[in-house]
Amino acid sequence: MSLSPRNARWQTREICALAPIVPVLVIDDVQSARPLAEALIAGGLPALEVTLRTPAALDAIRAMAEVPGGHVGAGTLITPDDVRAAKAAGASFGVSPGATDELLAACEAEDLPLLPGAATATEAMRLLARGYDILKFFPAEASGGAPALKAIGAPLPQITFCPTGGVTQDNAETYLSLDNVLCAGGSWVAPKDLITVGDWEGIETLARDAAGMGMSA
């Protein structure tokens, strides 16, 4: 599954449109990275966010980037060094909890598609002014949840969001039903207990259920 040769900002939209749910992954053991990616991709979730919260994260991105059919991104990008390390590891996109001028400039210099975080209309407008029209709404539930995101969408219809942070199997459909939501990020599709025991079939089943979300919205 290839992306069109458009600019990095457009590719962010293409990646987010691949499936309704982007798995948010915290990987402690690099040995689990490839089979985890294979299970999620087989279940219909090809866009994967590996958070840079563990020592194994960059090696996990390297391993996952070799799995056919997937698009592996680096989450929790904070600094320009994070951006360069993620790109060198093979990340095809990045995700950040917020956005600074330095971080945006680093992603633009590295031609790394970025899903930058915003929680307020002001933050969203600043990013839109720089050319970013698909954003991560974070932390989604703590920032008012689906009602808040719907309210932000009224005056800013040109911005599309990927809510993350408190999005669960129970409330994901509510977010996905909003006109200004393209996808949502969630960790429930790859629970730590299933990763620990190597239950890749169970994770594939969770992924397949998530891939079908929003179909009736």
Question: Nearest Cα to 196, choosing from 10, 27, 18, 79?
Answer: 27
Give alpha helix (H) positions in 90-213: 101-109, 121-129, 145-153, 172-176, 192-197, 200-211
**What tens-digit pLDDT sequence spans the chain (217 residues)?**
445 445 777 899 999 999 999 999 999 999 999 999 999 999 999 999 999 999 999 999 999 999 999 999 999 999 999 999 999 999 999 999 999 999 999 999 999 999 999 999 999 999 999 999 999 999 999 999 999 999 999 999 999 999 999 999 999 999 999 999 999 999 999 999 999 999 999 999 999 999 999 875 4
- Return the closest-CA partner of residue 113 out of 140, 86, 144: 86
Order of strands, sheet of 134-137, starting from the edge strand that comes earlier in the sequence = 117-118, 134-137, 160-163
- Among residues 93, 163, 155, 70, which one has the least CA distance to residue 121? 155
| 92 Cβ neighbours under 8 A, 6+ residues apart | 15, 65, 71, 72, 73, 113
Cα pseudo-dihedral 67, 68, 73, 74, rounded to 10: 20
At 105 the three-state DSSP class reads helix
The pLDDT value given to residue 10: 82
Residues annotated as part of the active site: 49, 136
What was the pLDDT predicted at 4?
Answer: 45
- CA 61 – CA 39 distance, rounded (Å): 15
Measured in whole angstroms, the distance separating CA 64 from the mean position of its chain's CA atoms is 15
Structure tokens at 86: 């993620």
Q: Which amino acid is at 212?
A: G
List the domains of the chain with CATH numbers.
8-211 (3.20.20.70)
User: Quick one: which of 150, 135, 41 has its CA closest to 97?
Assistant: 135
How far apart (Å, rounded) are the C-alpha atoms in residues 36 and 24? 12
